[in-house]
Amino acid sequence: MQKHDNRSEARAYIYTWFSEKFIAFAEQQLPDDWETETLAEAFDYIGLPQLGALATEMASQINQTPAFSEAIIKEHFRLFFGGQDEPIPLFGSWWIDGGFDGPSTQTVFDLYEQHELTPHEDIQWLPDHISIELEFLYSLAVREEQAREAGEIATALANATAQLEFLRQFVSPWVPLVCQRAIQQAQEEFFPLFCQLLQGMVTEDQVVLSDIINDYQQTLS
């Protein structure tokens, strides 16, 4: 293997960071420590320093905003649940199928079951909610890294390939659209930075993953 062998450990951290934040926003329980320094380091580690710089900028904005938690919770509700005329849906089927709980919702759930990574029973959202799809990518990245560390390169390759296919088919078609609309409609400075980071990760990670897959293939050849 070449370059950083454990890039997917950093990638997994990034995906679960975003997944956990969407859950925290909805539950109105924001963290005391946003761990933005670790987030920036993870972006730098996988070769995306431009996103690392954005994470650092976001950290500065968090620290400088009075009553930050209250403002962000209100902004999240306004953008995604009903504080404006057209809330931004956080479910893939709305963007892919044109309505909630569409055919892609079942396809996504079937993929979770195929990989034995079904959402926790306490999560009440449909399986194509943004936080669940990002958590699925996290879980696959963790499995990939575990297989790589064990020297099981074929298994690592299979998990990396599954991530790339899921990104291309079920995440990239709609998450960047959510991010773009949120950036346009946001009133607080935090959400444009947050969404630029997520949009950048979803887009650029396809390149990172393709490079990782190529390394695995070269190792196996």
DSSP code per residue over 43-84: HHHTT-HHHHHHHHHHHHHHHHSTTHHHHHHHHHHHHHTSSS
Per-residue pLDDT tens digits for 31-65? 888 999 999 999 999 999 999 999 999 988 887 66
Read off the pLDDT band of 17 (50, 70, 90). very high
> Are the beta carbons of 166 and 141 closer than 8 angstroms?
no
Per-residue pLDDT averaged across 70-96, rounded? 89
Q: Name the nearest CA neighbour of 4 among 44, 39, 38, 40.
A: 44
Read off the pLDDT band of 179 (50, 70, 90). very high
Residue 111 pLDDT > 80 = yes
Q: What are phi and psi of 101, to 5 degrees?
A: 55, 50
Residue type, 188: E
Indicate whether this model's pTM tops 0.85.
yes
* Dist. CA 205–CA 221, nearest whole Å: 24
DSSP for residue 189: S
- Helix, strand, or coil (residue 188): coil
Residue 11 pLDDT > 60 = yes
Q: What are phi and psi of 38, to 5 degrees?
A: -65, -40
Residues in the chain: 221
Structure confidence at residue 60 (pLDDT): 86
Structure confidence at residue 69 (pLDDT): 81
Cβ contacts of 60 within 8 Å, gap of 6 or more? none
Q: What b/e readout covers 29-41, taking b as 16+ CB neighbours within 10 angstroms?
A: ebeeebebeebbe
Per-residue pLDDT averaged across 150-161, rounded? 97
